[in-house]
A and B are shown apart, each in its own frame.
Chain A
Amino acid sequence: MKRWFVLALLAAALHVAPALAQSPSPAPTATAKPGSSEGWVADDRAANMHMGDQGFQSTTMVTASYAFIWLAVLAFVASVWMRSGKVEREMAELAERIRRAEGTPGSGTGKA
């Protein structure tokens, strides 16, 4: 079971390290060349605020997408969780039946 924690820790390190390294640094620099009309520019939060309805809608879409992915993943985990619970209950039930059967003389000889 340890390996799951190792995996999780690994994942944690993977995420937190670059994020922490990133946070104190100033806003990303613009990469659009001065002359060109296309490219990538820094996401300026302040400018974003003035983007009006469409800007708001864009941000909503991004948030909605991310939220949806998490809902789907959590729903999956919950379903696996419930199904393993069911399997475990059935296993316990079977073990109980076998124990009772083995306790009864004359029934069953094999070992399950």
Chain B
Amino acid sequence: MSFLRAAWLVASKDLRVELRAREVVVAMSLFAALVVLLFAFAFVKEGQTTPDAAAGILWITVALSGTLGLGRAFDREREGDTLSALLMAPVPRASIYVGKLIGIAFFMAATELVAAPLVAIFFDVPFGAHALPLAGLLALGTVGYAAVGSLFAGMLSRNRGRHVLLNILLYPIIVPVLIAGARGTQALLVLPAPDTEQVWLWVRILAMFDVAFIILSLWTFEPLMTSD
């Protein structure tokens, strides 16, 4: 079985399970909406929310709901001990990782479809006018996040303290990606016209993080997931 086909099978399995249960994406979206609301309350000034904060809030929301999704998605694998079964399959281990990454990235993308409009409404920012570049930034950021997140969540799936540890491990590594995404989004919202040069700069930085994280994950997934 080819690498990509195995990866796609794992991803489509995750997506099919999710389509039937709808548990993870609903939980993530609901949580994302709550986070945006909390931030909206926190940043109200004279009856108005501060548009400057919108970019950062969008990315923090993505990060927080992403952690929730990662934890739940891998808990599901743990409950039936299906992750061990998956790892026993006669396919390259790295393809399992890529499949997991694709699944998580889809969950996060679905959540972002809820979070971004909410931020646009509550913080009065024209995300709609820049939908395409914003989607590009979010896609790159999501892939970077999911790349590190699914590796760490996978490593932690057998650990008792996984919910605490996932946050502590993931955030220091992912902060630069969040900064890049937020700065790129900010550049997009500059008035009167988006600062295209800056947006491109951050897009390239995000792409670089994605490439580095994915290469490193593919390289370390095998030894990291081997239990001894």
Tell whether any CB of A sits under 8 Å from a CB of B in the complex. no
B residues bordering A, Cβ < 8 Å? none
